[in-house]
Structure formats: structure tokens, C-alpha cells
Structure 1
């Protein structure tokens, strides 16, 4: 299609653990984008959104002081099933178990359970701005009703050999980097701390020239020759699971504050638009790996995902997980337009196969299996012609300082980061590792 022919740079930023209604439900609630399937005032006190626990009902509430209410809701495979609340007939999902799963997991009952909180256009100020100025995808589902590692496998390999998050390097088949390398596609990673790709064990690559600090992004966009510049850019935030850093995480994984993630999103947009000529041929894709246990009212899609050969789980998935935010930011979308097609993370891989392969079916058999079940390509959300207008701008909002969150590793993904960092040091040596990732110097790397 014309848009993909003209787009020269595809940029992907995947943040952590927020649902669509949690971050973008305000678009319909505030009347900013009435066409979006978000929260609606007429349903706010009806049973539409009600979550019941022990004969008490809970509804979505506006988060006004994030630091006082935000917690990390559960999002493991078993508890996501509780959240989605399948009916006794097995044919419907009521999306009414978010409070139940939270209390099961934390043993803590509160007036306003964190999973039911949502941000308005002031709290999610940059996400809201980009949604209104560009294209919001309101049927982008996390591929699997599970947590971080399986869903990032789906995003970056098209399949998964695991169904949970554990303290390990992630077993996987062909990575998207391998797919791009095989087709001679130039790619690069810009990271604001040790990248999640560390957990895939690609150690030699991690200390190579394809990985650069985020601080170099704007300079490279401004000055790098288009013939040498990457055709696909992966942006990596500073992860909350990087537990020994004094710098505030900006991946939006609770307990990290959303305001830091919003400022990262502002930095990304400012860098990508600093060269108008390059911006005219750029597509920036922003989404989240999974919903993180936060409420969303839209039921999952009936997409089957059987265990592939060699998987360490035997029970396949019958549905997607809940919705996550999805934004397409580019001159090649219709401004302020919502796209309602069914998407998940493999929609990005379909797009890459259309741009750099022979079509959306050219990525892998597992991606095609989801495509056959009507998971669509992101290319379908692009416009036939670019929007001819000045580049929209937004001033950054202040963000309160975050106290140090250095801590002992508790969660499985924190211990996975620790294990992967130790193996990186062993494989590539402390000098090469510290030169690329100074954050790892002096880190507590004893498992």
C-alpha cells in the first residue's frame, strides 16, 4: 500500500502493565474522542463495569493521587482468568473479577481497589495528546491472558514456549532481530537502561553497535544519513524490574509512576519530530506488553494459541488477554481517528512482513495462525495519504521526584534481570559490559 511504500522508519515502544480503560478510557468519558470504545458516564454506576466481591460492588474511579493508590495488581495466567470472569456457560466473559483477583492475591480489601482506577487526560497527558492528534487503536489486545514474559515472546518472536514469567533467561525460537537480519533490514535499539532484550540472552549483540543509549536518539534522527539510519527502531524504557537503580523507572510498571512514563513518551515524540523531513516518513508504534491486572470492560477475543513443539506448558490458550493501549503516531494516519480492527502484538510482525517481506503472511506460521483467526495487520490503520499540517506539539508536564526504589529482588522478572545481567558480565566481560551499561557497575549480581 502507498503508506508502507513511503514510510522509511518504523519505531516501536512497548511499555509495561497498563490496560486500555486504565490509560485511555477517559477519551470517551470526557468526550474527547466519542468514537472510542472506552468508559462512558452512563455506565459508570450500572452493572456494566461493576466488580463484585462478597456482595459489595466496585466501580472504576479517577486516580487523583497516584502515589497513594497505585499498587501492582496480579496478572499471572490463573488470576487473569479470574479477572475476565468467564460465565458458567463458558461463552461469555463478564470482565468482573479484577477486584476478586486483587484481594485473593494481596489479602487486602480497600475502599478503592487499585485495579479499578483510571487516569484522565491530565494524568495520562502525553498518551491522551497523542491519541487525539493521531490514531488510537481501541481493539488492541494483549496476545495471551498471562503476564510479561509470554506476551513479550509473542511480540518479538510471534510465538511462545512459556506461559508464565519466571526467574530465567527466556527460551525462544527465531527472534524478530533474526528475521530482520535475514532480510538485510537495518535495525537498532535505543535504551534508557538495561534493555528487556537482555532476558533473551543475546549477549554479544547487546554490547555491539546496534544498541545505543537513549540520549543519542535525537542526535541520530537529526543528523544521520537516511541511507545508514535504521529502518526499524526499538525503544527500551528504564524498567521497574531493574531493581538496583536510583533512577526512576519510566516503563509504567507499578509502582513506577505514570508521570515518568509520560515524560519518556514526550521525549520520544520530541526526538522523532525534530527532523521534519524524516518525520514525514516515520511510523511510531506505542503499546503495552500486557494489561497488568487493571480493569478493562471489553471481553477478550476467541483466539486459540496451542502449545508449539518444545513448549514447557501443555494447556493451550483459548483467548487473548484484555485490551492494552495502542497508538499509531505518524503523518500517515488520519488525525483523531480511532481504528476498531482486532489487533494484538503480532499485528506489528505482520506489518514488518508487509514492509520488508512479501506480505503479511511472510512472518511465520504461528503469526499466520493468528491472522487466520482475524488478527489484523497494523497497516490497515494507515491512511492512503499523509496529513498535511504542522507537527502538533505539547509542552511537558512536571513530574514529582521519585524516591530511590533500590530493593532486594522479589518478583520473578526482577530475578530474571539479575540472572541475565550476571550472565552478560560473564559472557562479555566487565569492561565491555560497563562501557555499554554503566548501571551494571557495582550491581548486586549474586543470585
Structure 2
């Protein structure tokens, strides 16, 4: 094998994007003052949020202190994450008429701050109480809402914490949009979201997000790419988000994660690999659980282990596969960094205020809700893994999701910036800075904690299907009907389909759009896969 050369440290890249956790929530206790590092965490800080007077104990307790999580499924039910919820979390504002409202029940002025306001980071408790009430139908007790002010220790999350300590962690990596999943994932790969500000209704993503993508730019410059999706998730949210631009690639470039493991070991990874965890039922994405908001019971066995333990277990699988990429030629650990990131913080507490950012296109009209995209979301975890990274590094400068596009544009010569957002983003290629690479045999080998068993009963799955899944299902079913695909009678009205029906139908419809993600891995390839030409025809 040729001697590793730092010049080639970024010839390829692997990116895995998890879901809905803030930096404080996941990595806030990674280092303390005794570690002698400049690290913006939570240890040694007196952090809290006020309790609104209209809540239980709002008058007598006044505040909720920030503490260690005792529940690996916290927060449960899930916290608010849309733009109007994030407004409350960041600025402490909740309009009286929007109190206890969720989703489309929220109306003008959507808890928005006045122009130029500085985030106070003191509305997490107020928003959680309001959201909980809207989901459950009653106000939470103090013990129920206090867990929004908790975060995890390295001992509770040994995989991500072990990797972060052995490589480089960003302690000022910010989400691009103060809102939820689809917009932020779109900024990762397009540096904008075509003015869209919330996920719902998800049907709009099949027509409205027409922004040019990183994937197309890669192809235009002779670069290869794949999106690897954790099994058994039958769809790719990247494909849904960028459907207008990537519709002809859904059947060829979106494959099960097991193929990443094979490609990494064989040295056949593409130039750009994007990994999606399972973001539906039985998550592998660190996403907060959904059970209590969709069932009359206290908890659902299906969704409970999804919050943290399944995410840490999937990251261990990603890390092991990446570490195995030691082939003598092609992509390997010496020329392919692994970037571990998140899409958005999802309403979990963080203490660092996000700053102003340039709109993607200053000349464009305001987006949904009149938002001009001139302020960002708040901090999320981000870690850079490579033999060329100094172990125990902490990167204190501000980075954002568009730092990925900015870095690849610079390192790979991909042409002009996509938008003003990535044009202004800091790049990270210089962080691959060691004179000699570290041998993968010397890297940490963290072990994930056991993941509890969970049910695959269709009724339970249907009830606890993630919020993303509950939205994407009807959107894909409606699109399939428009394309002339026959769907089951039980989903003639996809918005009101029964839980037991929606699960099977979602997989069947997903197979029309993402045929390689619904292949039975136990079957021979030639018996289960269409040719690329036939599959591409089906996807259109």
C-alpha cells in the first residue's frame, strides 16, 4: 500500500446525519474545567429556564435547573421543533392565543421575535409545557416538564462520547434554520430550502424545493455519490426533500446501509457518501421518542428505545464500517474523513445563542411565515473523524451545515457557491492537520449499551410511527396515485388511513420510489433487483 499522504486526506468523504438533539443535550458534559480545554459545555455553569406563571409550580419554583438526564428516552413526548416552537425556545415568546397550540393550530404572529432581537435561550420550559399540553390534552407536572432541561453524560452515551474524545469535536456548529428536519437537511445538501420553513404539509417537498443540489454539482464535476439508508427504512428523506431534482436518481443512488459496509471494506465507496439512519419506527437516529403523544398508554414499547440507545448503537455500526476501510487502493480511512452531524436540535435545551446569518439569496422574497432566513438555528453535535485529526481536539470557531458544501467546493473545485449562506461558511479541510496519520488499530473501540427489545406489531408501529413518517406516508401515497400507481382501498384517503394499513402500504409505495431500499437482503441480487433502467422508469 502507498504511504498515506495528507494531501489526499479529503479525496472522499462520508457524512452521517442524525436527528433532533442539541449540543448541550448530547455532548455538553464531554469535557469539564479539569480537562484544561476551551470547551463550551455545561459543567460548572448555573443554567436554568424560567417556569411561566400559568404552569404548575410556576409561581413557587420559578425556574428549572439544568441537570443530568435519568431517562434514556427523554424528552418523551417529543418537544416542539417547528419554526414557531423554536421562536419560543430561543426568545421566550409564546403568543397568548398560541399557548397549548401545535402544528397548524399556531397562527400569526407565530411567536416570532421583533426584528434584531437577541436570543435569550430561556423559552424551552415554556414551549415544552405548551407543546406537551397540545399533544397529551393536559398540562404536564413539574417532573414531566423538567426533563426538557436535562442532558446526557459520556457514560450514558459511550459511543458518540468515545469517538468525540478520540477525534475532533465542534462546540459551535449551528443548524442553518431555526426550525425542523427537512429545511435543515436541505441546507446540508443545497444551502437553501427554496423558502420552505416547516415540514408540513410534506407533499410540498415533492414539487416546491427546486434548489440545485450538491449531488448534481458532484456529477457535473465527475464525482460519484450514494445515499446509504439504515434498514429497514424503505425511504430516503434526502430523496423526498430533493425529489424535484433527484427523481431520476432515486432508483439508482439510494441503497441500504449494508452496502456501505461492503463498499467500505472493499475500497469501493463513492466520492461522497451520505448515511441516513432509520428515522421511522424503531429509530436509529437519536430522535426523541413519540410513544406518549400517540397512545393512551403511558408508553409504547416500540418507540421507547429509539431515543438514544438505538442511535448510539447505529453510530457504532457506522464507525466500525468506516474503520474497516483500509483497502490498499480507492477510498479508505487515510483519504476519507467521517463527519458525524445532526440536522437540528429539535427543541432540546442549549445555552448558546445562535447569531445572525446572511440569507441564501438577499434579493429573494421572504419565505413561509414571512421568514427571511436571516438568523440560524442553534447548536447541534458535530464530530470530525480521520487519522489526520488530532485526538481530543476541540474546534471553537463557528461552523454551520453549509460548511460541508463550502469545504467540498474549495477542496474539490466544484465551482461557485450555491448561495450566500455557503459562500460565508467556514471550511474545515485545514483541521486534517497531523503530520503523520494515526493507525486505525490505535483508535478507540467504544461499545454501545444494550438496546431494549421493541415491538413490530403493525398496530403499535402505526400508532408510534414517527412524526416524519406520519407526514411522508400520505405525501408519497398521494404522489403515487398521481403517477397512476394502484394503492390499497384502505388508503384511498391517506390522511385518515388506519395505523395497521399505513405501515404495509408505506413500504409498498416506497418500493415504487426507492426500489433498492425495499429489497429483501436474504434474496439473491439477480432475483430481487430490477435493472437500473427498469427501476429508474418505475421511480419516475
Q: Normalising by the residue count of structure 2, what TM-score does the alignment of the two structures yield?
A: 0.71
Q: Structure 1 residues 382, 71: closer, same or farther in 2, change over 3 A?
A: farther
Distance 2:15 2:480 in 1: 24
Counterpart residue number, 1:292: 346
Q: Structure 1 residues 89, 271: closer, same or farther in 2, change over 3 A?
A: closer
Q: Structure 1 residues 7, 412: closer, same or farther in 2, change over 3 A?
A: closer
Distance 1:346 1:89 in 2: 24
Q: Structure 1 residues 417, 154: closer, same or farther in 2, change over 3 A?
A: farther
Distance 1:251 1:222 in 2: 23
Q: Classify the secondary structure of the residue corresponding to 1:58.
A: strand
Q: How far is the alpha carbon of 1:401 from its aligned partner?
A: 1.4
Counterpart residue number, 2:526: none
Q: Structure 1 residues 111, 385: closer, same or farther in 2, change over 3 A?
A: farther
Aligned counterpart for 1:381 among listed residues 422, 426, 431: 431
Q: How far is the alpha carbon of 1:266 from its aligned partner?
A: 0.3
Distance 1:11 1:39 in 2: 29
Counterpart residue number, 2:71: 65
Distance 2:155 2:484 in 1: 44
Q: How far is the alpha carbon of 1:66 from its aligned partner?
A: 2.1
Aligned length: 419
Query: Is 2:236 aligned against 1:195?
Result: yes
Q: How does 1:121-132 map to 2 (within 5 A)?
A: 121-132=154-165
Counterpart residue number, 1:320: 376
Q: Classify the secondary structure of the residue corresponding to 1:406.
A: helix
Contact 2:309–2:448 (Cα < 8 Å) also in 1: no
Q: How does 1:398-413 map to 2 (within 5 A)?
A: 398-404=450-456, 405-408=460-463, 411=467
Q: Classify the secondary structure of the residue corresponding to 1:420.
A: helix
Aligned counterpart for 1:152 among listed residues 185, 196, 200: 185
Query: Is 2:293 aligned against 1:238?
Result: no
Q: Structure 1 residues 174, 434: closer, same or farther in 2, change over 3 A?
A: closer
Q: Classify the secondary structure of the residue corresponding to 1:316.
A: coil
Q: How far is the alpha carbon of 1:327 from its aligned partner?
A: 0.6
Q: How far is the alpha carbon of 1:417 from its aligned partner?
A: 4.1
Q: Classify the secondary structure of the residue corresponding to 2:318.
A: helix
Per-residue CA deviation, residues 381-405 of structure 1 (Å, 9 max, x unaligned), is: 3315344342332233211112345
> Which stretch shifts more, 262-271 or 309-318?
309-318
Distance 1:294 1:186 in 2: 36
Higher Cα radius of gyration: 2
Query: Is 2:132 aligned against 1:106?
Result: yes
Aligned counterpart for 2:219 among listed residues 181, 186, 189: 181
Q: How far is the alpha carbon of 1:52 from its aligned partner?
A: 3.4
Per-residue CA deviation, residues 228-282 of structure 1 (Å, 9 max, x unaligned), is: x411101111113xxxx5xx21122221321101011000010011133511222
Counterpart residue number, 2:489: none
Per-residue CA deviation, residues 264-301 of structure 1 (Å, 9 max, x unaligned), is: 10000100111335112221011111010000000101
Contact 1:203–1:424 (Cα < 8 Å) also in 2: no
Q: How far is the alpha carbon of 1:69 from its aligned partner?
A: 5.1
Distance 1:7 1:412 in 2: 33
Counterpart residue number, 1:94: 120
Per-residue CA deviation, residues 374-431 of structure 1 (Å, 9 max, x unaligned), is: x311224331534434233223321111234512568466322442366368759777
Q: Structure 1 residues 399, 97: closer, same or farther in 2, change over 3 A?
A: same
Contact 1:33–1:336 (Cα < 8 Å) also in 2: no
Distance 2:141 2:430 in 1: 43
Distance 1:353 1:4 in 2: 16
Contact 2:265–2:325 (Cα < 8 Å) also in 1: yes
Distance 2:73 2:419 in 1: 44
Contact 1:280–1:331 (Cα < 8 Å) also in 2: yes
Q: How far is the alpha carbon of 1:222 from its aligned partner?
A: 1.4
Contact 2:21–2:342 (Cα < 8 Å) also in 1: yes
Q: Classify the secondary structure of the residue corresponding to 1:419.
A: helix
Contact 1:157–1:172 (Cα < 8 Å) also in 2: no
Contact 1:28–1:35 (Cα < 8 Å) also in 2: no
Q: How far is the alpha carbon of 1:141 from its aligned partner?
A: 0.5
5+ long unaligned stretches in structure 1: 441-447
Distance 1:9 1:91 in 2: 40
Q: How far is the alpha carbon of 1:132 from its aligned partner?
A: 0.1
Counterpart residue number, 2:170: 137
Query: Is 2:434 aligned against 1:391?
Result: no
Distance 1:177 1:22 in 2: 31
Q: How far is the alpha carbon of 1:218 from its aligned partner?
A: 1.9
Distance 1:273 1:3 in 2: 18
Per-residue CA deviation, residues 315-347 of structure 1 (Å, 9 max, x unaligned), is: 313321110001101112111010011111100
Counterpart residue number, 1:283: 337
Aligned counterpart for 1:331 among listed residues 383, 387, 392: 387
Distance 2:316 2:27 in 1: 16
Aligned counterpart for 1:15 among listed residues 15, 18, 21: 18
> Which stretch shifts more, 75-84 or 88-97?
88-97
Counterpart residue number, 1:445: none
Distance 1:174 1:355 in 2: 20
Contact 1:203–1:427 (Cα < 8 Å) also in 2: no
Q: Structure 1 residues 155, 424: closer, same or farther in 2, change over 3 A?
A: farther
Counterpart residue number, 2:105: none
